[in-house]
Amino acid sequence: MVCSALLGFAVAASLASVLAEFNPLHHSGPASPYFDAPSQLGISTETPDGCVVDQAAYILRHGSRYPEPGSFAGWQALFNKFQGASYTARGPLAFIPSWTPPIDDPPHEPLFLTSTGAGEAFALGVDLRKRYGFTKGGDGLTVWAASQQRVLDTASYFLHGYLSQGNYLTNTSLNRGTTISLPDSVNFTFANSLTSSNSCPLYPTGDKSALANTFRATYQSNIAKRLNHFLNGLTLNATDIGPMQDLCGFQTEVNGDSRFCDVFQTSEWLDYEYAHDLNYYYGSGPGNPFSATTGFPWLKAVTDLFALGPNKTTPTGTFTPPPLLMSFTHDNNIPPVLSALGLWNESFVSPLSPTHPDPRRHFHASYLVSFFGHIALERLSCGPPMPDMVKHVVGQIVPVPGKGSNTKKFVRVRINNAPVPIPGCTSGPGSSCSLQQFEQYVNVNRAKASGDFVTRCGLQNVKNASSTLNFFTNLPLNSAIQLPLP
């Protein structure tokens, strides 16, 4: 009965979202600027009454970047096509004779963080400092990041937003951020990585993301045919459509020009979105049988730290991590954590159809791997809500609900800020899961479903291969980047 009610709510929510004003930037997959995902089951984003978050862990994609060199080559080819013919353009394409690619420093911009991405990271730092109140003035913060420059830069701008207050130039031990840089795209770190799929030799054998290209072939030529009615002397073809749709999100992020967003119809954006859904679902998400395997070590490490509580370390640890665990990585390293958690993989729409989008699906790449997309786990400490009448005794601060001695612990998951329930465990405040049940869910149910990293990846005979992620409590040598924050 509950499942039927939730399904009915999901369908109603999908219909409501279609009827609302359509925003292509919320349907552009990995080219989407960051936005808070809509509530899928009506759960409030507010911390439940009587609760505080005493520990949180985030795994995030870097902020918005300039295009990869391959994508930029596609933009250049499109520009050359627009400039290499004499033609007349009208209607939604009237701007293309004057359009130029939004790159003005080609040797240095592709692949790197944009100013928008820097702003996104800084703003999240400010938001989480205010939201959680974990860090008092003067304290520092350690975060973890994959080692490509755009990821390190995202971590840097986040730290500046999180810690920027006061003036500690005369004391360099205060108000400092430290980024632990973890090797990127290597095969020797195994599970102890923020890019662990690179260390799983069998991972590529489960990648069926080519299904996205098959789906694109069903609609791109039709779009080109429609748009050619607005051109006289120039003919678009199917291969032009992908770069043009990508430019809606990318160019909006780079220089604020959103004219490509107005070129396409709602149904065409929904097809574009679904192609990205197929790419991530079957490439690095639940449709890849090795996805959960590579995402589970991060989930297991966070669960173990939640079981210990904030400001504690494991018995074998050499470092006590902060209550806010920030992991910065790439888009394809976010879906494996979703898979490990067993979320967005409902039986009635899974696996995703390669040909027919189901509006009831929860898996939307735009909600997960947008620029600065993230999965967050929050440990809630909950007590009775504050009563309407509160008595104050001179000199005695009344404890905030959730911070007293008689509290219970719960866990909830946010995906791009929207709370998402743990399957079969929603009886806590705000549809959260009790910490004890969450531990059981991860250590038994999800451990079995995900499998052992070394075994599943075929690494049994590889020296030093490990299924454990321990970088939160055992800092790698020579990997810290300290940021002076004036």
Catalytic residues: 62, 331
Q: What number of other Cβ atoms are within 10 A of residue 258's Cβ?
A: 15
Q: Quote the strand ranges of 21-95, DSSP E.
A: 51-61, 88-89
In the numeric block, the tokens 């080692």 are attached to 147
Cα 390 to chain centroid distance, Å, stands at: 41
Tokens of 421: 């329930």
> If we measure between CA atoms, which residue out of 322, 271, 290, 380 comes closest to residue 28?
271
Cα 275 to chain centroid distance, Å, stands at: 18
Q: Identify whether 351 is preceded by a cis peptide bond (ω within 30 of 0).
A: yes
> If we measure between CA atoms, which residue out of 442, 397, 353, 414 comes closest to residue 128?
414
Distance between CA 433 and CA 419 in Å, rounded?
Answer: 12
Distance between CA 300 and CA 319 in Å, rounded?
Answer: 18
Q: How far apart, in Å, are the Cα atoms of 151 and each of 325, 365, 369?
A: 16, 20, 14
Q: Please, are residues 93 and 240 in contact by the beta-carbon 8 Å criterion?
A: no
Q: Please, are residues 69 and 110 in contact by the beta-carbon 8 Å criterion?
A: yes
Q: Give me the phi and psi of 18, to 5 degrees please.
A: -70, -40
Q: Give me the phi and psi of 187, to 5 degrees please.
A: -115, 15
> If we measure between CA atoms, which residue out of 45, 52, 33, 12 comes closest to residue 403?
52
Concatenating the DSSP letter of every residue in 167-196 gives: --TT-TTSS-EEEEEEP-S-SSSTTSSSSG
Do strands 324-329 and 51-61 pair parallel, antiparallel, or not at all (unpaired)?
Answer: parallel
Distance between CA 254 and CA 457 in Å, rounded?
Answer: 39
Helix locations, 342-400, DSSP H: 365-368
Please tell me the number of Cα atoms within 13 Å of 215 on its side-chain side. 23
